[in-house]
Structure 1
Amino acid sequence: MNASELRAYLEKARTIAVLGAHKDPSRPAHYVPKYLWERGYRILPVNPRFAGEELFGERVVASLRELGEPVDLLDVFRPPEALMDHLEEVLALRPGLVWLQSGIRHPGFEAALREAGIPLVADRCLMVEHRRLFP
């Protein structure tokens, strides 16, 4: 996905689910979604460790299945070896775009998303890209 496509997508996106959202402000899984939330995106946090608590004005859910609403973008903060465990949920959710954060790649997971027609950005930081595209 080139810069103009990314920019257009991020301009129209409103709801971002964050798989692996975290409460610790020093962790990227907290400060990246916080940055996006502060820029007007609705953040839907997903992490079984914090289910029922509140982050970014929303209740944390344990799994993607619990979201029950369309998601424009799925921002993933999970180790590569855990991605296939989430594949069925991701395919059922059918987000408009899946974003694998910096350092996250999994050829099988990525191929399954492409085969399902779900656009994907891998091994890039959403916050860094957003800052670059919207200075």
Structure 2
Amino acid sequence: MTQHQDDDIRKILSATRVIAVVGISPNADRPSHEVAHFLQSKGYRIVPVNPGQAGGQILGELVYADLAAIPDEIAVDMVDIFRRSEAVPEVVEAALRHLPGLRTIWMQLGVAHEAAAATARARGVTVVMDHCPKIEYPRVMART
């Protein structure tokens, strides 16, 4: 990554407070659970989104079926996507429609969708593709 990209990621991680994790697994051995737990340990509020687990809890937080189900009083400012690239447009569309405070769409390692990213950017939302905040956090935040 370039220094400019590192600076952008540092700004995102410094400003973010509440992260909706789309596709989070209740299984502690799954990457989505591991990453969410790491982010929670760094002080971020995690909002789990998984239709198969809706109404239950993951990492001590109520699980929502989808982004539309998250109450307005939970000011989600970043959506972290643990879904296949083909599912990204639907997630981005829902995020743009239902999360008024949204600032960042983050697509995990191996996840990218240029058209969905362009749609989000056109609405003023920052997009990170094919990166993991658990990897980026120690790398870029150590320099602050």
TM, length-normalised to structure 2: 0.87
Shift of 1:12: 2.6
Instruction: Let me know the Cα RMSD of the aligned residues.
Output: 1.4
**Match 1:99 to one of 94, 106, 111:** 106
Percent sequence identity is 36
Q: Provide the residue aligned with 1:21 in structure 2.
A: 24
Q: Provide the residue aligned with 1:117 in structure 2.
A: 124
**Match 2:43 to one of 35, 40, 44:** 40
Task: Give 2:23's aligned amino acid.
Answer: G
Distance, in Å, in 2 between the alignment partners of 1:97 and 1:87 is 10
Q: How many residues align?
A: 135
Q: Secondary structure at the match of 2:80?
A: strand
Instruction: Please list every run of 5 or more consecutive structure 1 residues that lacks an aligned counterpart in the other structure.
Output: none
Instruction: Please list every run of 5 or more consecutive structure 2 residues that lacks an aligned counterpart in the other structure.
Output: none
Alpha-carbon deviations, 1:48-72, whole Å to 9, x = none?
0110111122100000011123212
Shift of 1:4: 2.1
**Match 2:55 to one of 52, 56, 64:** 52
Distance, in Å, in 1 between the alignment partners of 2:81 and 2:91 is 10
Q: Provide the residue aligned with 2:64 in structure 1.
A: 61
Alpha-carbon deviations, 1:39-98, whole Å to 9, x = none?
111100000011011112210000001112321211110101111222321111241111
Distance, in Å, in 2 between the alignment partners of 1:64 and 1:91 is 10
Q: Secondary structure at the match of 2:124?
A: coil
Distance, in Å, in 1 between the alignment partners of 2:114 and 2:87 is 13
Q: Provide the residue aligned with 2:75 in structure 1.
A: 70
TM, length-normalised to structure 1: 0.92
| 1:89 maps onto 2:88 in alignment | no
